[in-house]
Structure 1
Amino acid sequence: MATVDRPQRRGAALAGVLLAGSAVALALGVYGKEHDPALKPLFLAGFSGMLQLKSWLATLALVLVLLQVATAVWMFGRPPGARSAPGWVSPVHRWSGSIAFTVLIPVVLHCLWSLGFATTSTRVLLHSVAGCAFYGAYTAKMLGLRVRGLPGWAVPVLGGAVFASFVLLWLTSALWFFTRSGLALT
């Protein structure tokens, strides 16, 4: 019986995680492009419009994502001279990520169902691509946490891809909206 050496298993595990993330990103992009957008909100949850709802929920998620980054850095001991993370940091990291993901569900539903994958301007195209990339990277990162045999750098790099794609997503949507309409909830 032949044995597979460790680097080959790591490569296969990483390839599998990246393939799954790519499949999710591609599936969302194809659905968003092929689906006829409804051009109306699914629900408004007290907001005066779909863009207000999406912008404020995305901003709440951004705050939680920044908490994610801070707790991840603390858990992995990267701040120079920082003491090791207390026991509550890991649960805060997990829960802030879970809440951020949950907060983003209405946002992605509105993006895909109501607006679709749009290419009407460079900003909108970047936003559509960043949205697909975010969910692909998120899928890869979450699988990477569960798959054994990944290189040690894989999960932090995947987490960085989640963060970078989300920041681009937020910049091309919520920040764009707030700079044009102000910070009003209605």
Structure 2
Amino acid sequence: MNLFDISIPHMSRSAGQVLVWLDRAQAHADARKFDVSVLLTARLAPDQWHFTRQVQQIVATPLRLASLLRGQAPPDIAEIEPSVAAIRAAVQSTRERLAPLRSSEFADAAERVIPLPFMPGKGLAAPDFVQQFALPNFYFHAVTAYSILRHHGVEVGKPDFIAPLSFRDL
């Protein structure tokens, strides 16, 4: 299994769960008769990013990682407007951009050293970057976005976070 196989498909699948969360958030706001933007701009703590900014990281991380692992400059990711339509569009766009990628495009990725923009002059070997930074960072933002909604009473549960499983008959 290469670095693509352990990261990008899983990130894409998890990003897709944001669409489920949005549906639940909208239904929650509608049932209680308040504007859903209250949830989209909610945060867990005053110094943390709000829900939409967390989602921005959920959609940016796999796109950036896919570029870095292939030795390409990471794309600029536009800030997402805090609206259901804008978040939905960003998630769908990211998943569409990731869908055509294939494991074979990442065959030499493990040999790369990924520079760390927040630590000039430092980098991580690509396997370490994926396992020690990209995946934990992605899931940090996913858990935080999910938790913001949960904290504000949106009925989301573990299956809504984990995503559909690929069950097989025994």
The TM tier, using the shorter chain, reads: 0.3 to 0.5
Q: TM-score, normalised by structure 2?
A: 0.37
Q: TM-score, normalised by structure 1?
A: 0.35
